[in-house]
Structure 1
Amino acid sequence: MRPHSLLLITSLIAPLGVLLAGCQTMTPEERRAADETTCASYGFKRGTDAMARCMLDIELDRRAEGRSMQSRADAMMWRPMVVERRVIVERR
């Protein structure tokens, strides 16, 4: 393989690796800590009912967003698809 071909392939694969590395999911513990930090930044005190309600609201919003995304994906997947195939007929 030529050196410039190898360089081209490497320059195409490297950004893909960076994109995939950014697609890591959070563990439930990390998500809870992030939600606690968010609610604390809103002014709620840790260990109060208001903090619990804030965290519950964040979780309910996350679940609603997931259902919405799933609904949109289902609508795109199951809508009718029109396939057209042209047939050329020669007259003799």
Structure 2
Amino acid sequence: MKRATCSVLLLILFVAGCQTITPEERRAIDGRTCSSYGFKRGTDAFSRCLLDLELDRRATNRAQFDDMRFNSPPLIIYGGRHYRW
């Protein structure tokens, strides 16, 4: 019984961790971040803050993708077996 309860709790935590943030939620979070920096909504500085946050996020995603793509050895499949170069 205790094992089943632990399994269910782990499954719930796993599923909860897989949720994605909608663009609207991301925008609201970014807006709160820029407001916390002292920028006022509707100003050019606030818009620039939102843009900078988005550009930083995209640069981070590109860097992570490039890191995975260029730093992992190629996978070679030969005769039904997998080999790392």
TM-score, length-scaled by structure 2: 0.76
What is the one-letter code of the residue matched to 1:16?
L
Larger radius of gyration: 1
TM-score, length-scaled by structure 1: 0.71
Which digits, 9 at most, give the CA deviation of each residue in 1:24-63, with x for residues without a partner? 1111111001000000000000000000000000000000
Q: Which runs of 4+ in 1 moved over 6 A?
A: none
Look up the match of 1:34: 29
Higher relative contact order by CA 8 Å / sep ≥ 6: 1 or 2?
1
Give the superposition deviation at 1:76.
4.1
Comparing both structures, which one devotes a greater share of its residues to strand? 2
Give the superposition deviation at 1:13.
4.2
Structure 1: give runs of 5+ residues left out of the alignment: 1-5, 83-92
Matched ranges for 1:1-92 at <5 A: 7-77=2-72, 79-80=73-74, 81-82=84-85
State how many pairs are aligned. Answer: 76
Q: Report the Cα distance in structure 2 between the residues aligned to 1:29 and 1:51, rounded to whole angstroms.
A: 17
